[in-house]
Structure formats: C-alpha cells, structure tokens
C-alpha cells in the first residue's frame, strides 16, 4: 500500500524563499518538496523527543583527553551501568591525547538523556552532544 502524495501551496517572503532555494541546491536536493519533507521529518524527530516517554534511538558524541585521571574508568563505569541502553561504542584516536567516542543508544528517552548528561558532565570531557534520531518505525520514508 503506497502512501499517496498530497499537494498544498506555501507562501514565503521572497528573500527567504531565495535563500531556501540556494541552501537546498547546496545540500543537493533536486526539488523543494524533497528538501521540505526532510526538514519536516527532522523536526518531527526533535518534536517527539521533547514530548513524554517513548523509545528513541540516537548517538552520544564525546571528545575527551584520555590522560585525565580516572576519566576512562568513570566513562566506562557509566556505560556499563546502562548497558541495556548502549548498543555499542565507536572509539577513534584523534591524536596522542584526544579521543572521539560515539555511543549508539536506544531505549527510553529520559533515561538516555540522563546517561548522556552524566557522560558529558564527567570532568575531562571537552565536548559532548546527544543526537536524538528515530528508531525508524514511526516515520514514513
């Protein structure tokens, strides 16, 4: 059962429309509808995350200096304490000091938020970001 297409018209200030067209071109879109559909989907993902509960998927990105005392033990301990939320971790050695670590996570939204907060707040973590996406189930392609 194919999802039928609906058409509607949009009114925009001309300067905004022009800047939108340029950005869509720079991003590689062939037409406005595809660009707008992707913006809507991205907004739906964020919108749902801010609402109550539900299963989410996402990534937690961390950059840290692994020489910081006790940091590795702390980060690993937090991760093992929430092993059911963390699917796997990708670790990249940026240079002799700095690590880029990405955790693929899935589970209850507020609990994932709490793990991300704990990891990002750990002393020695220079930058951290929780990127929430979708489990894909509830989002039409």
Restricted to residues 12-71, the positions that interact with its own copies (CB under 8 A) are 12-17, 19-20, 23, 26-29, 32-45, 47, 57-59, 61, 63-66, 68
The DSSP letter of residue 93 is E
Listed in sequence order, the residues at least 6 apart from 135 whose beta carbon sits closer than 8 Å to its beta carbon are 55, 56, 57, 106
Write down the least CB distance from residue 77 to its own copies, Å. 8
Contact 30/38 with Cβ under 8 angstroms?
no
Q: Tokens at residue 17, please?
A: 């429309």
Answer for which of 49, 98, 108, 111 binds its own copies (CB under 8 A) is 98
Write down the least CB distance from residue 48 to its own copies, Å. 9
Write down the least CB distance from residue 62 to its own copies, Å. 8
Contact 61/101 with Cβ under 8 angstroms?
yes
Q: Tokens at residue 116, please?
A: 């991300």
Write down the least CB distance from residue 108 to its own copies, Å. 15
Residue 99's φ and ψ, nearest 5 degrees, are -115, 140
Q: Does 94 bind its own copies (CB under 8 A)?
A: yes
Q: Which is nearer to its own copies, 57 or 112 (by Cβ)?
A: 57
How many of the chain's residues bind its own copies (CB under 8 A)? 93
């Amino acid at each position: 059962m194919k999802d039928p297409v609906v058409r509607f018209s949009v009114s925009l200030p001309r300067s905004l429309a022009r800047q939108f067209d340029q950005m869509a071109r720079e991003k590689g879109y062939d037409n406005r509808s595809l660009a707008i559909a992707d913006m809507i989907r991205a907004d739906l993902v964020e919108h749902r995350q801010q609402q109550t509960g539900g299963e989410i998927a996402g990534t937690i990105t961390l950059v840290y200096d692994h020489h910081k005392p006790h940091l590795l033990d702390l980060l690993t301990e937090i991760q093992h304490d929430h092993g059911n939320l963390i699917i796997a971790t990708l670790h990249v050695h940026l240079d002799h000091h700095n690590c880029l670590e990405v955790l693929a996570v899935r589970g209850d939204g507020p609990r994932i938020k709490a793990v991300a907060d704990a990891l990002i707040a750990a002393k020695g973590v220079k930058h951290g970001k929780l990127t929430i996406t979708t489990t894909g189930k509830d989002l039409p392609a």
